[in-house]
Amino acid sequence: MLKYIIRRIILAIPVLLGVSVISFFVMQLAPGDFLDTYRINPNISREKIQELETLYGLDKDPVTQYFLWLGNVLKGNWGYSFVYKIDVWQVMLRRLEATLLLGVTTFIFTWGIGIPLGITAALHQYKFTDQTLSTIGLIGISIPNFFFALLWLMFAANTGIFPIGGMLSREFANMPWYAQIGDFFWHVAGPVITLGTASLAGTMRIMRGQMLDEMNQDYAEFARAKGMPSDVVIYKHTLRNAINPVITSLGFSLSAILGGALITEYVFSWPGLGTLMRDAIFQQDIYLVMANLLLQGILLIIGNLLADIMLAASDPRVRLRMSA
Site residues (vs other proteins, CB under 8 A): 30-33, 36-49, 51-52, 55, 80, 83-86, 90, 94-95, 98, 150, 153-154, 157, 160, 164-168, 170, 265-272, 275-276, 279, 282, 284
Residue 4 or 84 with smaller CB distance to other proteins: 84
Q: How far is CA 92 from CA 23, 100, 271, 288, in A?
A: 18, 12, 11, 8
Minimum distance between the CB of residue 297 and other proteins, rounded to whole angstroms? 24
Residue 33 or 308 with smaller CB distance to other proteins: 33
Q: How many whole angstroms separate alpha carbon 86 and alpha carbon 186? A: 32
How deeply is 65 buried, as exposed, middle or buried, from its count of CB atoms within 10 A (0-12, 13-18, 19+)? Answer: middle
Minimum distance between the CB of residue 254 and other proteins, rounded to whole angstroms? 22
Minimum distance between the CB of residue 312 and other proteins, rounded to whole angstroms? 39
Reduced to 3 states, what is the DSSP secondary structure of residue 87?
strand
Minimum distance between the CB of residue 141 and other proteins, rounded to whole angstroms? 24
| Contact (CB, 8 A) for 290 and 69 | yes
Q: How far is CA 106 from CA 71, 95, 159, 194, 198, in A?
A: 37, 17, 24, 9, 11
Nearest alpha-carbon partner for 195 in 122, 111, 293: 111
Residue 30 or 138 with smaller CB distance to other proteins: 30
Residue 164 or 322 with smaller CB distance to other proteins: 164
| Contact (CB, 8 A) for 148 and 172 | no
| Contact (CB, 8 A) for 321 and 311 | no
Residue 32 or 245 with smaller CB distance to other proteins: 32
Residue 17 or 151 with smaller CB distance to other proteins: 151
Minimum distance between the CB of residue 304 and other proteins, rounded to whole angstroms? 30
Minimum distance between the CB of residue 146 and other proteins, rounded to whole angstroms? 10
Taking the CB of residue 254, how many other CB atoms lie within 10 A of it? 21
